[in-house]
A and B are shown apart, each in its own frame.
Chain A
Amino acid sequence: MVVISQISIWIIPLFIMLVLLTATWKKVPSYEMFVEGGKEGVKMAFSLLPFLVGMIVAIAIFRSSGALDALIGLIAPVLNFFGVPPEVVPLALVKPISGSAALGITTELIATYGPDSFIGRLASTMQGSTDTTLYILTVYFGAVGIRKMGYALKVGLLADLFGILAAIVIVTLVFG
């Protein structure tokens, strides 16, 4: 498990080095390309803003009223049985439906419990390890006019469930 934390620290600097070395070797104008790509990052951050404001405010209302605690108290016994922390349940429910909404929930969890808490780490890992099934289904099937989806939705949602369970097991093993 120490290996996994070490990989986490090394992978990004090593990747940056590899990219820059290859680019220089192939005579790619790296700085100019960097600036080109970076402009997209500015756009992306601003397009995320309304998603985050909407979701974070709704969760803040739900939490500050005491409704969230009441809900957690209700379902906690069942989830404890499976080893699932009840705090991440809203995230698990929203994740297959909307990626930006899920990011709002993850952010709220990190803000409330701290990024280095168990909940914070689990939410971070869950956010990264599955994608938005319904969005992908809608976009890809919609774009080419597929009417009958077959078993696609079932496969996608089941895979999400496995991804979430995997995240819980791995975070428990790695960070305890």
Chain B
Amino acid sequence: MVNLIWAFMAIIGIVFAMFNGTMEDVNKAVFESANEAVTLSIGLISVLVFWLGIMRIAEEAGILKILARLFRPIVVRLFPEIPKDHPAIGYILSNITANIFGLGNAATPMGIKAMEQMKKLSGSNEASRSMITFLAINTSSLTLIPTTIIAVRMQYDSASPTEIVGATILATIISTLSAIMIDRLFYYRSMWRK
């Protein structure tokens, strides 16, 4: 899908330029923008190094574990099909807390482990109710501090690169809550149909 969108943006652009007399601009844009993208990626290193460093300390200091304890009662309620002391709950909690801190690389393996446990519970290769709830929460994003975006804003001389953090947290909370509600809605609808 992304391959199609990507290729077509370039193809349509070049065809459009043929009829629009903007080929010179396109030619210039190719090389200038490639150059700009490289400069940008290198500029991102500063913030990414600093933030992932701090996050590693947080992980090592057990801050993620404290948060996991805090969220436990909520998560147990979100997944009524999973028994309270089942290992799946533990993996789901690690996945959610890692996501909150923007540790995508740590969150994915935990998420896969959680899925394995949920598959054991359901015992079929059809997505269970818990699996879909878990995916809905994950797709709505849980990250509190959007590090990469802050780094990009810095690169383009924003007067206040972090000013969007508050708005992002609010939008994230709303998108996660609506994901949970949409998930419930679809679940009850599928029950009602049966």
Contact = CB atoms under 8 A, between A and B. Distances in A.
Given A12-B162, A103-B148, A131-B139, A56 B37 contact: yes
Interface in B40-55: 40-42, 44-45, 47-55
B164 A8 contact: yes
B82 interface: no
Find the residue from B52, B55, B152, B171 having the highest chain A CB count within 10 A.
B171
A159 B139 contact: yes
Contacts of B13: 58, 61-65, 67
Contacts of A26: 61-62
Interface string A51-76: 01111111111111111001000000
A48 B44 contact: yes
Given A34-B54, A64-B26, A148-B125, A166 B156 contact: no
B90 interface: no
A63 to B, nearest CB: 7
B29 A64 contact: yes
A67 B20 CA distance: 9
A42 interface: yes
A78 interface: no
B119 A155 contact: no
Interface string A76-119: 00000000000000100110111001011011101100111000
Interface in A104-149: 104, 106-108, 110-111, 114-116, 120-121, 124-134, 136-137, 139-141, 143-149
Interface residues of B, number: 100
Interface string B45-71: 101111111111110111100000000
B153 A167 contact: no
A146 B140 contact: no
A67 to B, nearest CB: 4
B61 A5 contact: no
Contacts of B12: 62, 65, 67
A133 B38 CA distance: 27
Contact of A137 (B44, B139, B165): B139
A144 B179 CA distance: 22
A105 to B, nearest CB: 10
A26 B66 CA distance: 13
A65 B149 contact: no
A8 B29 CA distance: 35
B151 to A, nearest CB: 9
Interface in B144-176: 144-146, 148-149, 152-153, 156-172, 174-175
A117 to B, nearest CB: 10
B61 A60 contact: no
Given A16-B54, A62-B9, A174-B166, A167 B36 contact: no
6 contacts: A48-B44, A103-B152, A152-B132, A152-B135, A155-B132, A166-B175
- The 9 A-B residue pairs with the shortest CB-CB distance, nearest first, are A37-B56, A163-B175, A128-B146, A115-B158, A60-B33, A159-B179, A41-B49, A129-B171, A41-B48
Interface of A: 3-5, 7-9, 11-12, 15-16, 18-20, 22-23, 25-26, 28, 30, 33-42, 44-46, 48-49, 52-67, 70, 90, 93-94, 96-98, 101, 103-104, 106-108, 110-111, 114-116, 120-121, 124-134, 136-137, 139-141, 143-152, 154-156, 158-160, 162-163, 166-167, 170-171, 174-175
